[in-house]
Structure 1
Amino acid sequence: MMWYDLLDPNTGLPFVETPRSLMLTLNIDWFAPFNSGYSCGAIYLVCNNLPRADCFKMENVILVGVMPGPKEPSTYEINSYLEALVDSLLRLFNGITIPTFQEPNGTVIRAALLNIACDIPAARKVGGFTSHSSTRACHKCTREFVVFPGTSNLVLYPTYNGFIITVI
């Protein structure tokens, strides 16, 4: 359904019905290249306009960047890796002119980010959320949730609506 929900701001038609408009999926994943605690990350895009069997073929995957490690970046640090990608995607949504095989003098190519596909820890970081064990609501907050002493378990206080997390 989302495929046709994104409208071209110029024509009002679905974005994908405009010629040479690509729908992309952002993927981020970390891996251990050695048998140690060292962790690297990859940021890559795939084109959803291709047949499903061809999307993830090596020749069709766009490697955007590599996060060198030695550990996964924090939620705040990942923004420096994603900033250039976001700028490029904004320019691509409006369209850029590049030469192609059929149009050597250049034609307008457009792209939009359809979705982000990654595991939960990566999705939290890309979305700007804190980890599952965080005692803060977001990475910018300085206030912490109340926890039981000596644990990371949040203290819940009952209300008439069920349970809420209290913040001090």
Structure 2
Amino acid sequence: MSIPGTLAFSIHVDSLHAHGKSTWLASIAPIMLIYLNFPPSERFKPENVYVAGIILGPKEPTSLQLHYLLMPLINELKELWKGYHL
């Protein structure tokens, strides 16, 4: 089910843990937008993934922290949904 002329994205956040010689140093979590209008075989190719931000911290963000970190992106996408008139 798609509406002609619309774009569909999915948002992925996946935390990675950076390790030193013997200890865990930090958490790195890229915020990625995946363009769902591409065929499945093309969606996750590096050239088709948009990194909207990177969350750095001493540990993985909690659900509440993630909510606040994603709100600016969600608000921008909601504005784009309304469209721009030139």
Q: TM-score scaled by structure 1?
A: 0.45
Q: CA RMSD in A?
A: 1.7
Matched, 1:34 2:19: yes
How far, CA to CA, are the matches of 2:50 and 2:82 in structure 1? 20
8 Å Cα contact 1:30/1:42 also seen in 2 = yes
Matched, 1:64 2:52: yes
- Worse-matched range after superposition: 59-68 or 75-84: 75-84
**Greater helix content:** 2
Counterpart selection for 2:3 from 7, 17, 23: 17
How far, CA to CA, are the matches of 2:33 and 2:67 in structure 1? 17
Q: Which amino acid aligns with 1:65?
A: G
- More contact order relative to length (CA 8 Å, sep ≥ 6): 2
Listed as ranges, the gaps of 5+ residues in structure 1 are 5-15, 98-105, 107-168
Counterpart selection for 2:82 from 73, 91, 94: 94
Residue 68 of structure 1: how far off its partner (Å): 0.5
Matched, 1:53 2:41: yes
How many residues are paired up? 83
**Greater strand content:** 2
- Which of the pair has more CA radius of gyration? 1
Q: What is the percentage of aligned positions where both structures have the same residue?
A: 28
Listed as ranges, the gaps of 5+ residues in structure 2 are none
Structure 2 equivalent of residue 82 of structure 1: 70
